[in-house]
């Protein structure tokens, strides 16, 4: 429900005592209350709502009296839409075979003509349509990267606003903005990837605290280069956008699919080992000592940006974990589900009732 509230909807959750938050509707009844008790209370408590989602209560016999009341409530609140949200279906669950023999089972072996039906998967939608004989659309479960990755709210907002979740890949380039770090390689890489139809985001974490005139000149050169290639939405100078402390660096590391470390002169390359511990690929030139560290995906020192982009894109597209991660973030993120499934569901006219 958080995604609905975030998008301006007034939402409350009707639940038994002990569940929900302060603004929700706490049903002052027990699971053993009668249908008439539920009907009397809910006809008042739910009055004024435009849409009422019933999660599993219409398809699972946990509180049959409540389900019976919900069958009767549309007559008392005819202006509301009633949407039966099916996560589980007792009718197809062998553990609930008893519903065919008990009187209350009738509530779960046929559809309610006043309800619309939604299921969380194609499998469950198919079961609803086959066994209840009513149309059922799919609205999948989703993930919230902010909570799953434990990101700060600021970082999560930045990722959402800049389209990092929808990108084909996100690379973290964890180095200071110094000439010997070969930072411009990431800028040329992003440009070459775009020319190959691949949406690559480069996150540069280096601080922009100006140590010397030469340092300032190099940062200006990098930003001018990125701007000249129209990469403002592909290359991010994070150190100039916010303080990048331990928490921020951890956030960006979790957001990234892989690390890019183009420096050709290093004393060791600890970032490669750290990336390996985290199970992330890291791309770096084939030069010592970097090439000697486990986990490095190396490329020739003398390689064009176009060739490097081709190599990197091939590696990413061949990496099943990264590809699955990108699909999940693109298709199963709650803001995406809201726009592609919930908005059309809420805006359209109710489906024809099945009687």
107 in a structural domain: yes
352 in a structural domain: no
pLDDT of amino acid 22 = 53
Each residue's pLDDT tens digit, 75-94: 999 999 999 999 999 999 99
- Chain center to CA of 66: 33
Per-residue buried b or exposed e for 59-85, using 16+ beta carbons within 10 Å of the residue's own CB? bbbebbbbbbbbbbbbeebeebbbbbb
Q: Do 286 and 203 belong to one domain? A: yes
Q: Do 176 and 134 belong to one domain? A: no
Residue 185, token pair as written in the block: 């390689």
| Cis omega (within 30 of 0) for bond into 231 | no
| CATH code assigned at 75 | 3.40.50
Average pLDDT rounded to a whole number, residues 40-63: 93
Q: Do 229 and 276 belong to one domain? A: yes
Q: Which residues contact 24 (CB under 8 A, 6 or more apart)?
A: 12, 13, 14, 15
Q: Do 102 and 138 belong to one domain? A: yes
Q: What are phi and psi of 282, to 5 degrees?
A: -135, 130
DSSP reduced 3-state for 235: strand
pLDDT of amino acid 355 = 44
Q: Do 314 and 202 belong to one domain? A: yes
* Beta-sheet strands, E only, within 209-295: 235-237, 258-260, 282-285
Q: Is the dihedral of CA 339, 343, 348, 349 positive or negative?
A: positive
Q: Do 313 and 342 belong to one domain? A: no
Q: Do 169 and 107 belong to one domain? A: no
Q: What are phi and psi of 275, to 5 degrees?
A: -65, -40
Q: Do 177 and 267 belong to one domain? A: yes
Q: Which residue has the higher pLDDT, 29 or 25?
A: 29
pLDDT of amino acid 24 = 73
123 in a structural domain: yes
Each residue's pLDDT tens digit, 238-286: 999 998 999 999 999 999 999 999 987 776 767 777 777 777 888 989 8
Residue 126, token pair as written in the block: 């198919």
Q: Do 137 and 163 belong to one domain? A: no
Q: Which residues contact 22 (CB under 8 A, 6 or more apart)?
A: none
Q: Do 276 and 338 belong to one domain? A: no
pLDDT of amino acid 41 = 93
Q: How far apart are the first and last CA of the chain?
A: 30
353 in a structural domain: no
Domain span at residue 180 reads 146-331
Q: Do 245 and 111 belong to one domain? A: no
- Chain center to CA of 188: 29
The answer to whether 278 and 255 have CB atoms below 8 angstroms apart is no
Any idea what DSSP says for residue 288?
Answer: T
pLDDT band at 322 (very low <50, low <70, confident <90, very high): very high
Each residue's pLDDT tens digit, 218-227: 999 999 999 9
pLDDT of amino acid 264 = 76
Q: For all residues of the chain together, what is the average pLDDT?
A: 90
Count of the separate structural domains present in the chain? 2
Each residue's pLDDT tens digit, 295-320: 788 999 999 999 999 999 999 999 99
339 in a structural domain: yes
295 in a structural domain: yes
354 in a structural domain: no
Q: Do 101 and 13 belong to one domain? A: yes
Rg value, the chain, Cα: 27
Q: CA of 13: how far to CAs of 142, 260, 342, 347, in Å?
A: 18, 45, 17, 21
266 in a structural domain: yes
The answer to whether 86 and 128 have CB atoms below 8 angstroms apart is yes
DSSP reduced 3-state for 52: strand
| CATH code assigned at 183 | 3.40.50.2000
- Most distant pair of Cα atoms in the chain: their distance: 84
Please, what is the angle between helix 305-317 and helix 320-331, to 10°?
Answer: 80
């Amino acid at each position: 429900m958080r995604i609905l509230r975030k998008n301006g909807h007034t939402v409350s959750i009707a639940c038994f005592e002990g569940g929900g938050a302060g603004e929700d509707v706490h049903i002052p009844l027990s699971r053993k209350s009668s249908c008439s008790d539920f009907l009397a209370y809910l006809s008042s408590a739910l009055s004024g709502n435009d849409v009422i989602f019933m999660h599993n209560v219409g398809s699972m016999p946990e509180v049959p009296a409540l389900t019976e009341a919900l069958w009767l409530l549309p007559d008392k609140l005819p202006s509301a839409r009633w949407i039966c949200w099916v996560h589980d279906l007792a009718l197809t669950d062998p553990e609930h075979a008893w519903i065919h023999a008990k009187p209350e089972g009738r509530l779960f072996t046929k559809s309610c003509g006043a309800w619309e039906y939604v299921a969380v998967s194609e499998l469950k939608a198919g079961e609803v349509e086959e066994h209840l004989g009513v149309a059922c659309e799919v609205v999948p479960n989703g993930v919230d990267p902010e909570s799953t990755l434990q990101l700060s709210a600021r970082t999560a907002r930045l990722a959402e606003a800049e389209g990092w979740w929808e990108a084909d890949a996100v690379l973290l380039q964890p180095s200071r903005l110094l000439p010997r770090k070969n930072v411009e390689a990431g800028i040329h890489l992003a440009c070459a990837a775009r020319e190959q139809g691949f949406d690559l985001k480069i996150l540069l974490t280096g601080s922009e605290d100006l140590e010397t005139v030469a340092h300032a000149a190099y940062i200006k050169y990098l930003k001018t280069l990125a701007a000249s290639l129209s990469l403002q939405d592909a290359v991010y100078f994070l150190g100039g956008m916010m303080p990048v402390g331990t928490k921020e660096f951890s956030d960006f590391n979790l957001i990234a699919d892989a690390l890019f470390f183009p420096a050709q002169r290093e004393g060791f390359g600890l970032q490669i080992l750290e990336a390996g511990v985290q199970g992330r690929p890291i791309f770096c030139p084939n030069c010592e000592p970097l090439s000697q560290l486990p986990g490095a995906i190396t490329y020739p020192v003398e390689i064009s940006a176009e060739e490097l982009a081709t190599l990197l894109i091939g590696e990413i597209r061949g990496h099943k974990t990264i590809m699955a991660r990108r699909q999940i973030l693109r298709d199963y993120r709650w803001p995406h589900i809201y726009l592609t499934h919930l908005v059309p569901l809420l805006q359209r006219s109710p489906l024809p009732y099945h009687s």
